Amino acid sequence: MGGGTTMKVAVVGATGLVGTKMLQVLAERNFPVTDLVPVASAKSVGKEVMFKGRSYKVVGMEDAIAARPAVALFSAGGGTSTEWAPQFAAAGITVIDNSSAWRMDPSKPLVVPEINADILTAKDKIIANPNCSTIQMVVALNPLHRQYRIKRIVVSTYQSVTGTGVKAVDQLLNERKGIVGEMAYKYPIDLNVIPQIDVFLDNGYTKEEMKMVNETKKIMRDENIQVTATTVRIPVMGGHSESVNVEFEKEFDLDEVRRLLATAPGMVVVDDPGTQQYPMPKDAHEKDEVFVGRLRRDETQPRTLNMWVVSDNLRKGAATNAIQIAEYLQQKGLL
């Protein structure tokens, strides 16, 4: 396959939350899918998924490789990606992987198209999609980094249960209704906030927090950016929010900051305290943009900005970003 306007596309993890969103976004953006290969675990093989009014049967991994799609969008967890992405790549299929399996592999590109799609070549057969909370933060920070150079970032996240998956959504909805059911988290999430996302590491930070630290440096191609993060799960159904405090090397002007953000690709500025306008997850729901507001100077130290960043974590944070990578590859004739 490759070139032209025809494209056989596999979606691995097609029945999960992100996989379902990938199918939706592929259809919405009119990606030139001529044949869809939905892939899932053995228990889902034979089920049907709908795409653009047609029904497609879910197949297993071997059948998907044998179908020789041009591109495979993976959203089936790190273990699956570690095992299967190299097998797809060996068959000449370009893998865009949404798990954390390949993100920090120095030989694999970690891409947010607005920032660093230019690193991609035809040789890249496994391309990593960054963590959802990292994507929205770097989209908002990149135009400012280019102008003022970022020295240090302090970020606290307010992350939706959809980031965990369908089991977490069920837990929240069950708790709302007073139903005792399967728990995705150790603790109740309704009327609660859980300051732990992923497992704890030896340094006392969680894996999610360290993903934000390491991925930011890699995507922005600057090992000197200092990042410290606290990642928190909140009882919200869609959309991650982040409080970001960023110290620059150069002095900034707030009006120029607003202008840089308003004109950056994929960004929307919602920032009018006078009318209580600021980004909220419910407004970002089913949108592809990253929304930013609450822009104000940190009055406790020089050259430091506070900002509030919101995005739909299943879309720009996952599915849309992966499909934008595929669009770039297709436009450049790299598929």
Which residues are identified as catalytic? 132, 240
Contact 151, 165 (CB under 8 A): no
Of 128, 109, 134, residue with least CA distance to 120: 109
Secondary structure E strands in the chain? 8-12, 35-39, 48-51, 54-57, 71-74, 94-97, 126-128, 150-158, 226-230, 240-248, 267-269, 290-297, 304-311
Kindly state the tokens that stand for 285: 């729901």
Taking the mean position of all CA atoms in its chain, how far away is CA 140? 13
d(CA 79, CA 100): 10
Maximum pairwise Cα distance, the chain: 60
What's the burial of 227, exposed, middle or buried (CB within 10 Å: 0-12/13-18/19+)? buried
d(CA 128, CA 141): 20
d(CA 114, CA 9): 23
Residue 8: strand pairing partners: 35
In which residue are the tokens 């974590």 written? 313
